[in-house]
Structure 1
Amino acid sequence: MASSPKPEDLPYWQVNIPADQCTAACPDFLLNINDKDRGIISTREEDYQLMSWPEVRALIAANQLQLFQRTPLALRRYLDYGWGLKEKYGSAVNFVLQERLHWNPEELAARAEKDAGKVPDFSDPSDVKILCNDWPYGLDERIVHLVVWTKFPLPDDPTTGDLTDDARAAIEAYVQKTFRAPLPKDSVIWFKNWRSLKSVLLVEHFHIMLFDPLEEFIAKITNGDVPLSKRLAEEGK
């Protein structure tokens, strides 16, 4: 009986795909992807090592955010879905604004101009929306990944490309009140992607990771939101 081909013997786009679903030509959504993504896509799903909570904390503390990555199959689905978004909505940001946030782009542009350089103010709940990360990274299944979206700018230092000290302090105060106060110590960590790592550039946001929070807390804080990837999986897509 012939053994299954090894990943290194297959074109990268055929790894992890049943033989009857493989295509001779590379799908459009996997053409011209970068070396990092190609390496992930060509890794067997069963060989992928999920990142632990201590590893997540260490990576964020070292500001090595580029090392976060999705599992091979999750990345494939993410790239496939993103390709379809561009055809249907024109861009990922249009999809996020229309289908996830339901925010007006003209209002956001006006806020960006009016509040440029100001210290972020989280006092108005209508300016903030907490949602699940639609396409989570390859993490321990007990880790919940949320995204905090804001209508106001989160200023960066033009020299370093990182948050200004005032912006970082404002976010830290918000995270302390919203997440750290009601949850166990050391179960909350946050980060904001550098501009070069953002998948949605025009809407400000930062990331929250929680270790093993109660489902009731997540349902309350996100108003019952469910990650898009989970919804698609439940629909068999």
Structure 2
Amino acid sequence: MGSTDTTDATPFWNLNIPEALHTDHCPAYLEYALDNEKDRRILSTLDADYHRQTWPEVRGFIQDNRIDRFQRVPSDLRRYREYCSKLTDKFGSVMDFVMQERLGWTSLEPKSKTPFEDRDDYKILLNDWPYGIDKRIVHIVVWTKFDLINDPDTGDLTAEARKEIDDYVNKAFVDACGKDNVIWFKNWASLKSIHSVEHFHVMLFDPPKGFVADITNGDRALADKVGYGATVKAMKSLNELKKS
């Protein structure tokens, strides 16, 4: 993937959108990338030049605890940042949106003191804005009302918490998909986009037909529900002008 901030002298914020939508100044929702070298590099890449991360790469990132190496397709990263900006304006924070609209939870008080014992204490949903990975890989997020305890000395999960998640993942996913086709991870605190609701991620490679719909109760990722926001609206306006 390219490491420059422009392609053919085009600023990163104008890549992967029609020329008619190019702007002289960076949109507010992408200004953060001026100081974020990783995302600026991604946004400086054409979608056509983007390399989707393979299942062996995905497993390697997680096994080596290098989850910072996950990234999104450039145009998806743009959509993600635009949508998060709108959510913050409307709901106050992404966390509030997730609580109200995605989880439907009014309280984070678990019913059971034992993790994964009560089905109302956790919810399985698709990741709303998947990484730029092999399209056969399904990215799921398991949200929990109960704490996933970290070791204060290492910042990583305690051995007990890791075993609890392992046991759950084996039962919920591995039995159906196979050990080599399932891997999970919990984001470092510094990489979390939502800090107040506990969750961990599960990746499935080419799961059995119908399995994902069953386990997520037919959930659909936000990325599949929403359009390209301002880009779509602007294109509609341009088309209407052309017809007039």
Cα distance in 1 between the residues matched to 2:49 and 2:228: 24
- Render the CA deviation track for 1:110-163: whole Å, top value 9, x for unaligned: 55xx99xx8x61111111100000000000000000000001000111111110
Q: Match of 1:10, as an amino acid? A: T
Structure 1, 143-152 or 120-129: larger mean CA deviation? 120-129
Residues 77-92 of structure 1: pairs in structure 2 closer than 5 A: 77-92=79-94
Unaligned runs of 5+ in 1: 1-5
Residues 23-102 of structure 1: pairs in structure 2 closer than 5 A: 23-33=23-33, 34-102=36-104
Cα distance in 1 between the residues matched to 2:166 and 2:8: 45
Q: Match of 1:183, as an amino acid? A: C
Shift of 1:233: 4.0
Structure 1, 134-143 or 28-37: larger mean CA deviation? 28-37
1:144 equivalent to 2:138? Answer: yes
Match of 2:188 in 1: 194
3-state secondary structure, aligned to 1:207? strand
Residues 103-114 of structure 1: pairs in structure 2 closer than 5 A: 103-104=105-106, 107-108=107-108, 110=109
3-state secondary structure, aligned to 2:128? coil
Q: Match of 2:212, as an amino acid? A: I
Structure 1, 32-41 or 61-70: larger mean CA deviation? 32-41
Identity of aligned residues (%): 53
Unaligned runs of 5+ in 2: 1-5, 234-244
Aligned partner of 1:157 among 137, 140, 151: 151
3-state secondary structure, aligned to 1:186? helix
TM-score (norm 1): 0.90
Match of 2:163 in 1: 169
Cα distance in 2 between the residues matched to 1:187 and 1:99: 30
Match of 2:241 in 1: none
1:134 equivalent to 2:128? Answer: yes
TM-score (norm 2): 0.87
Match of 2:223 in 1: 229
Match of 1:14 in 2: 14
User: Is contact 2:176–2:208 with CA below 8 Å preserved after alignment?
Assistant: no
* Residues 154/19 of structure 1: CA separation in 2 closer, same or farther (3 Å cut): same
Q: Match of 1:161, as an amino acid? A: G
User: Is contact 2:173–2:182 with CA below 8 Å preserved after alignment?
Assistant: yes
Cα distance in 2 between the residues matched to 1:78 and 1:234: 9
3-state secondary structure, aligned to 1:148? strand
3-state secondary structure, aligned to 2:180? coil
- The aligned length equals 224
1:204 equivalent to 2:198? Answer: yes
Shift of 1:168: 0.2
Cα distance in 2 between the residues matched to 1:28 and 1:128: 35
Cα distance in 2 between the residues matched to 1:76 and 1:234: 9
Cα distance in 2 between the residues matched to 1:234 and 1:147: 23
Q: CA RMSD in A?
A: 1.9
Shift of 1:234: 9.7
- Render the CA deviation track for 1:88-109: whole Å, top value 9, x for unaligned: 00000000000000011xx32x
Shift of 1:8: 4.6
3-state secondary structure, aligned to 2:200? strand
